[in-house]
Amino acid sequence: MQPFTHSAFASRIVFARGATAQIGDEVDRLGISAALVLATPRQSQEAEGILEQIGSRGVGTYLGATRHTPIEVTRDAVRVLQRLSADGVISLGGGSTIGLGKAIAARTGVPQIVIPTTYAGSEVTAILGETENGLKSTRSGPEILPETVIYDPARTDALPVALSVTSGLNAMAHAAEAIYARDGSPLYTAIAVEALAALHKALPEIVKEPQNRAARDTALYGAWLCGTVLAGVGMSIHHKICHTLGGALDLPHAATHAVMLPHTIDYVEEVVPNALAPAAGVLGHRAGQALYDFAGELGAPRSLRELGVLEGDLDRMVELTIAIPYWAPRTIEAAGIRELLQCAWSGSRPGRSFS
């Protein structure tokens, strides 16, 4: 047994189909008397439904959540929160809305309730990624962690297949990195393997039958587990590159993770195959190559070029990635990262020997 140190953050988890009906009880439990409901413009109707459901305990909605949590949007939301004298937020949506709720809480201390509608997984982490002037940075702390998460799989039943796939692969990235994390533990590895297995099973079923409730339940369960391990271990090269690309080029968050995951995992797997053996055991053969094949089976994007990245952007992405690198079991240096990004840009199957 290798030595390890295990630490964990914990939110209150309510997981049940139809659990949104319990939102009033959770608002009362946290002592919230004036809740601001957060969402994106696309989910305005659902946000109004939540506001109506909590009655006099709601004071309004803020529908400006957007990807990569821009600082200027957070500042505007805080002004609305203060103007309405809100003492808590309810975040309904995916990573964009969840990130906004965390950013508000980090600045004001108000409690958060999250109702995820995608498989982002970030709802159970004390990690906040924010973008300012085209650069995305992350920080962590207990003030960022949502107090309560309501997992209602019915909220994901209508999630479009394409977004279900990329969101699910985004979640799988959390679990895959947790398996080789410097501050991982046997418990986190066990959770990560279970998470990968759940999504590996559920996503093809969702592609085949989008209204398959059992598959939707399993996928959301897997997303919770993926977020749980992300909450407990440090992020590595995959998240660093995705944050760099997303912040600098304003790329769609989940799709960027879906494209990059096979390549970043392969980059690490080249030097620590034993560390990633548990993931390979779930996915089949080499983990990076298996993830590439799996993404193809699901119809996910497999190249940065598909996301609108220009080949001429890659050199600058290398510079930004290595300027402030995250820890990784393989050295993060310019030549190797450039080749990794080139492979991801063209959509080639990973597996070559990096420089």
Q: What is the DSSP string of 133-192?
A: TTEEEEEE-GGGS-SEEEE-GGGGTTS-HHHHHHHHHHHHHHHHHHHT-TT--HHHHHHH
Write out pLDDT tens, residues 41-88: 999 999 999 999 999 999 999 999 998 899 999 999 999 999 999 999
CA dist list (Å): 171 to 1, 41, 352: 28, 24, 25
| Phi/psi at 112 (5° precision) | -125, 140
Strand pairing of 12-15 and 148-151?
parallel
Write out pLDDT tens, residues 236-262: 999 999 999 998 999 998 999 999 999
Q: Which fold has domain 161-346?
A: Dehydroquinate synthase-like, alpha domain (1.20.1090)
CATH number assigned to the domain covering 12-156? 3.40.50.1970
**What value does the mean pLDDT take over residues 122-143?**
89
- Check residue 355 and give its pLDDT: 44
**What is d(CA 77, CA 63) in angstroms, rounded to the nearest whole number?**
9
Q: Where are the domains of the chain?
A: 12-156, 161-346
pLDDT over threshold 60, residue 293: yes
| Phi/psi at 36 (5° precision) | -105, 125
pLDDT over threshold 60, residue 353: no
Write out pLDDT tens, residues 139-165: 889 999 999 999 999 999 999 999 999
**What value does the mean pLDDT take over residues 203-214?**
98
pLDDT over threshold 60, residue 177: yes
